[in-house]
Amino acid sequence: MSIVVDSLLGAVSGITSGITAFFIVTVLSMIYKYFTNERLSFIIGILFGLGFLGISGGLLAILDQPSIGGVIEVAILSLFTIWGVTTGDKISDKLPRKSAAALIGITRGKPAYVKIKLPDAKLIYDMTGQPRVIDSLKEELALREFTLPKDLSQEEMIKRVRRRLITDWGCR
């Protein structure tokens, strides 16, 4: 078989497998981001996509007779799965989260949660020895509330709020 035909067959096969893997990885990425609030690793997404290709029998055929078309198929499938991970993250960011306010109404007696509210943007100061926080980020963080379990110590509450600021906004 000529290299051009093999390359075209690999590209077509990569696109068809990639589209299906795209939807699977997008859903997995959405679920992962929704529950962990962290991005699904691109490598894990590629492994899921290649796993889908392996389930459909394509990966064994590629490994039996390696060719340019097989390499192109895996490359295109990998691109689709990376696109699926980023799309799943973007969709998950737009999904509404259940607030802890609903949980407070369910508990009897004293609420089991406490809210910590950040100050106004004018009261968020830069720390000496640390990089300057841009004004737009200060505006975004102003008056933001964090809901935490009430039974945590003050040090643990500070650690959790600090960890959220670092993971969600890149503040150090």
- Report pLDDT digits (tens) over 23-53: 999 999 998 888 888 888 888 888 888 887 7
Amino acid at 91: I
Per-residue confidence band for 61, with pLDDT thresholds at 50, 70 and 90: low
User: Alpha helices, DSSP H only, in 3-110?
Assistant: 3-36, 42-55, 58-64, 68-94, 100-106
User: Three-state DSSP class for 91?
Assistant: helix
Residue 88: closest CA among 164, 137, 21:
21
pLDDT reported for residue 87: 92
pLDDT given for residue 46 in this prediction: 84
The ranges assigned to domains in the chain are 3-94, 100-169
Contact partners, residue 34, CB within 8 Å, separation at least 6: 92, 95, 97
Whole-structure pTM value: 0.53
Q: What does the DSSP 8-state code read for residue 109?
A: S
Which residue did the predictor score with more confidence, 121 or 104?
121
Predicted confidence (pLDDT) per residue in 73-108, tens digit? 888 988 999 999 999 988 888 877 655 444 444 445
